[in-house]
Amino acid sequence: MNQQLENQQRVLEGMSTVVLLFDDNLLLKYINPAGEMLFEQSARHMLSLAYVELIQHRDEISLNKWVEEIKSGQSFTRHEVPLVLFHEKEVTANLTILPLTASDEKTEYLVEIIPVDRWIRITRDEQRVEQQEVTQEILRGLAHEVKNPLGGLRGAAQLLERELPSEELKEYTQVIISEADRLQALVNRILGPAGMPKVKEVNIHEILERVRSLIKIEVQDGIHIHRDYDVSVPDVKVDPDMLIQALLNIARNACEALGGKGNLTFKTRVVRKYTIGHQRHKLVACIEVIDDGPGIPADIREKIFFPMVTGRAEGSGLGLSISQSLIQQHDGLIECQSEPGRTVFSVVLPIN
Ligand SMILES: Nc1ncnc2c1ncn2[C@@H]1O[C@H](COP(=O)(O)OP(=O)(O)OP(=O)(O)O)[C@@H](O)[C@H]1O
Ligand SMILES: [Mg+2]
């Protein structure tokens, strides 16, 4: 019997579903580690708190309905309910509440919370990784084909320029040369840094400080840069130049979206038990780049990580696809949540 209890304990502790148990007065008796993660609090701080303190239902109707159903001994399941958790954290989740009869004949309530946006992002990510690899391949192939003739084109224009009888005609060869240079720069960005990442143990805050100082030079005074670092984040194994490049692309986008006025925040956190693709990691470092700009235009929100997708007239649409590919090479992922007034790009990197 003991063995069985132990097994049950291990299952609960290892589950990625959030499980809570409330007593007949709806006070918290148990919460599993996945729950601690979602509520961003240790169990110690939450035990004995009331259901309504921990979980608020955005729509009162669903709460009233729940109380009614539960009283008649039925279980309650609702999909995609908006909840406000302890400490104002908002989530959309599938919620199940199951009345149980405890050994003392009193009723207990087992509550299961599955945040839906998290799941959508994970599954989307697996697909996205594959789709992106294909697009990236096609684009790289094309870039290679363009790269070689470009050199010839530019060289020929230079030779031609020297032979030209009049100065005025040079205007035309200059157009060829500058356009070839522009294309060359584009092609170089698509092809990206050559070779495997040169990884070493780095402190992500040193990386972020580099990014911050580079961005500071570029932006106007109207943009305020904030730091919200968790200094306890352990070092990660990355290629520092690649990580800087990936974060720069994201931060530059934020500044462009802010259009010269607003707030940009670099935030770091450690997250326990996080799934990237198919891989479950015990510990990951999460770097967030947050801006209070207008948000990502709705029509491109689902496609921003694809190359050549841009919402800006002068954009080439390569920044995010390059960042994504750089982070993928480190077994990490980039997520994004955006609404007017708050856009968050999270770079998640495994800590071994
Ligand atoms: N923080 C943000 N706020 C609002 N929109 C954003 C933000 N980040 C990205 N976007 C949108 O996503 C699009 C794609 O970004 P991406 O960096 O891939 O390309 P780009 O910035 O247009 O061009 P490039 O980076 O190659 O110069 C942007 O054009 C912009 O519309
Ligand atoms: Mg960009």
* CATH code of 319's domain: 3.30.565.10
Mutate to test the pocket of ligand 1, among 320, 342, 344 (most ligand atoms within 8 A of CB): 320
Q: Determine which residue's CA is closest to atom 13 belonging to ligand 1.
A: 310
In a domain, 145, yes or no: no
Cβ atoms of 289 and 243 closer than 8 Å = no
Does residue 133 belong to any structural domain of this protein? no
Asked if residue 213 and residue 341 are part of one domain, the reply reads yes
User: What pLDDT shows up at residue 125?
Assistant: 63
Which are the contacts of 244, defined by CB distance < 8 A and separation ≥ 6? 207, 210, 211, 214
Residues with CB under 5 A from ligand 2 (ion): 253, 319
Instruction: For residues 114 and 199, state if they share a domain.
Output: no
Distance CA 338, CA 250 (A): 13
Tally helices (H) and strands (E) across the chain: 10, 13
pLDDT band, very low/low/confident/very high, at 225 (cuts 50, 70, 90): very high
Whole-number pLDDT of residue 352: 79
CA neighbor of 207 nearest in space, from 249, 176, 166, 238: 238
Does 220 share its domain with 334?
A: yes
Q: pLDDT at residue 118 above 90?
A: no
pTM over 0.75: no
Number of domains observed in the structure of the chain: 2
Q: From ligand 1's centre to the CA of 110, what distance in Å?
A: 44
Is it the case that residue 128 has pLDDT exceeding 90? no
Do residues 17 and 108 both lie within one domain?
A: yes
157 part of a folded domain: no
**Domain check: are 106 and 205 in the same one?**
no
Expressed in angstroms and rounded, the spacing between residue 339 Cα and the centre of ligand 1 is: 14
Which of 188, 218, 290, 310 is the pocket-test mutation for ligand 1 (most atoms within 8 Å of CB)? 310
Residues 338 and 249 in one domain: yes
Q: How far is the CA of 336 from the centre of ligand 2 (A)?
A: 14
Q: Measured from the CA of 312, which atom of ligand 1 is nearest? A: 29
Whether the Cβ atoms of residue 251 and residue 215 lie closer than 8 Å to each other: yes
- Average confidence score pLDDT of the chain: 89
Higher pLDDT, residue 63 or 43: 43
Q: Which of 92, 119, 146 is the last residue of a domain?
A: 119
What is the pLDDT at residue 119? 57
Of 334 and 2, more confident: 334
- DSSP-derived pairing of the beta strands 262-276 and 279-291: antiparallel
- 243 found inside a domain: yes
End-of-domain residue from the set 119, 145, 160: 119
Q: Which residues of 234-269 are buried (b: 16+ CB within 10 A; e: fewer)?
A: eebebbbebbbbbbbbbbbbbbbbbeeebebbbbbb
Round to whole Å and give the CA distance between 90 and 168: 65
Same domain, 207 and 111: no
Q: What is the pLDDT of residue 61?
A: 66
Residue 164, in any domain of the structure: no
CATH code: domain of residue 100: 3.30.450.20
Measured distance CA(205)–CA(270) in Å, rounded? 13
Domain boundary among 95, 119, 143: 119
Highest mean pLDDT among 106-120, 162-176, 186-200: 162-176
Check whether residue 206 and residue 113 sit in a common domain: no
Ligand 1 surroundings by CB, under 6 angstroms: 249, 253-254, 257, 291, 293, 295-297, 304, 309-312, 315-321, 343
Q: What's the domain range around 16? A: 2-119
pLDDT tens figures, 278-323 = 778 889 999 999 999 999 998 898 889 888 899 999 899 999 989 9
Judge whether 242 and 330 are in contact, CB under 8 Å. yes
Residue 169 is assigned to a structural domain of this protein: no
